[in-house]
Every structure is written in C-alpha cells, then in structure tokens.
Amino acid sequence: MNAIHVVTLASAGRRGHVLRQLEAVGRWMPGAAHHTVLIGEEPFTVPGSQVIDRTGPGPVNLARARNVAGDAAVADGAELVVFLDADCMPGAELCSGYARAAEQLPEAVLAGPVTYLAADDRPYDLDRLAKWTRPHGARPNPPEDELQRATDEEYELFWSLSFAVTARTWRALRQRFGGFCEDYVDYGGEDTDFGMNLRACDVPLVWVGGAHAYHQWHPVSTPPIEHLDAILVNAHTFYRRWAFWPMHGWLRTFEDMGLAHFDGVEWVKGPRPKE
C-alpha cells in the first residue's frame, strides 16, 4: 500500500494528544498523509495535518465526523485509510501490519490491539512504546503477523480507536449502509452499530496481530456520567435498529447508582420509583 492516510477527529482539548500522534506517525509511518476533523465548539491549528473544520455549537456527532474523515482521505487519493482515535499513537508496526493485512484481505475491516497507557508512563518516549505493550483484555490480541477473523459474537467488540480499510472497502461501506450511522449524537453506541452493520452485510472484521496502538492517558469517569443523557438517547436509537440494548454494563452501573433505570420497556433517567 503506497498511499496511506491516517485520519482522526479531535476537539481543542485533545490538541496535544493529536500532536503526539503526528509525531509518532512521522516516526513510524513516513510518507503517510494525516487528516484531522475538528469537532467541538473551538477551532484550533494542527501543523502537519490536513484540517477539516466541523466545529460549531450543538452536540458533537462523532459518526458524521468519522465519515467526513474517511471520505476526505479517499478523495485525496488514499489507498489505505487508518482511523486512529485522537488519543492513540501508532506503534512501530501498526502501519506495516495493516498494510500487509490489507494486501491479503482488501475487503475486510482491520482492527489492531490497543494498549491503554498509565499516568506513570508519561512523559511518552516513542522508543519505549513497545515495552509498555499491554493490550486491552476485552478485545482479541492475536500473535504478531497473525490475522484472526472475528466470530459473529465478536462483531459487537468493534471499536474505532484503531482500524483500517482500503479505499475501495470504505467506498463500499458508505454505499451499502452509509458508514457510521449519523443518528447517534455525542457519545456512545455508534461503534457497536457499525459492527452490527458489518455483520449484517457479511463484511469480514479481522483482528490484526502486532498492529499496536497506544492510547495516551487522560482522566476518565467510569461509567462516563457526563455522557449519561447521550448514552440513554443512543441506547434507544440502537435498540430501535437492532432490537437489543448496547452498553449494557454502563446502563446497569447507572441503574446501581440511581441515575437511570429500566422500567420494563425502556431505559429512563432517574432512580427506580419506590413501590
């Protein structure tokens, strides 16, 4: 794959993370183009990246921004599009791993393992990334250079932190089901929805051993209480489309915290009424 384009989306608060991502792209993926879709309310500069401004008022639409990113890369001549979350830095073998996999399985959506770096890992040293490799245990982590096709059940594990598609496959996904469903707003559900569409359309989802990405540390809340309203809305959107509830762990934790409850039909904000 000669024309490799890395795409990401970021708000102003993630600018520093994107700049470190760009440093890693320049180190491990020389010659790759980079595109950043700006989201949130405040525009900002990203030297070294082709910027697409989608900032403005109102809720962020991550699905739409991701579609814009993929379309921009393909229109710019990409042969392989590598999607990275703004927090993710590519490892030394991510580019070559995805490129080899794409040559073998050009019709597949390719997903590599992601390591969540700890606060104590900072300051980040690109030469030490491989020593910090400890992939998230909720996703498959095949041996290096091994390709493992997802089972039907594993399509629900798709996440957009790190994945790659050929330009031809991206165009096909956009034509078949629109790419990421833009009915989802703010945060939650759009990745699992994308995975369900892949399964429904018999598009291979393939785990790529050795194509490591490294998620830069930042404070998080578990569950993401700040996204409660969006998660409830998006959960209902997902249920209407696929007839089962996504983000089950978060919803149950919200229920345990008295922030939401299932009334027998749908998830409702607030504690369960006392009988």
181 and 249 fall within a common domain: no
Tens of each residue's pLDDT in the chain, 275 residues: 579 999 999 999 999 999 999 999 999 999 999 999 999 999 999 999 999 999 999 899 999 999 999 999 999 999 999 999 999 999 999 999 999 999 999 999 999 999 999 999 999 999 999 999 999 999 999 999 999 999 999 999 999 999 999 999 999 999 999 999 999 998 899 999 999 999 999 999 999 999 999 999 998 888 899 999 999 999 999 999 999 999 999 999 999 999 999 999 999 999 988 87
Question: For the whole model, what pTM was predicted?
Answer: 0.96
129 and 29 fall within a common domain: yes
What whole-number distance in Å separates Cα of residue 11 and Cα of residue 33?
20
166 and 232 fall within a common domain: no
CB atoms within 10 A of CB 2: 8
91 and 196 fall within a common domain: yes
- Residue 65, in any domain of the structure: yes
Contacts for 227 with CB less than 8 Å, ≥ 6 apart: 186, 187, 188
What whole-number distance in Å separates Cα of residue 28 and Cα of residue 22?
10
- Residue 274, in any domain of the structure: no
Place of tokens 């379309």: 71
152 and 261 fall within a common domain: no
Structure tokens at 124: 């980040």
54 and 159 fall within a common domain: yes
- Residue 209, in any domain of the structure: yes
- Residue 95, in any domain of the structure: yes
198 and 256 fall within a common domain: no
Domain containing 173 — which CATH number?
A: 3.90.550.10
18 and 124 fall within a common domain: yes
261 and 149 fall within a common domain: no
Domain containing 38 equals 4-215
127 and 229 fall within a common domain: no
- 247 sits in the region (left: phi over 0; alpha: psi -120 to 50; else beta) called left
- Residue 275, in any domain of the structure: no
Which of these three, 215, 244, 260, is where a domain ends?
Answer: 215
- Residue 246, in any domain of the structure: yes
65 and 179 fall within a common domain: yes
244 and 190 fall within a common domain: no
Question: What's the confidence (pLDDT) of residue 49?
Answer: 98
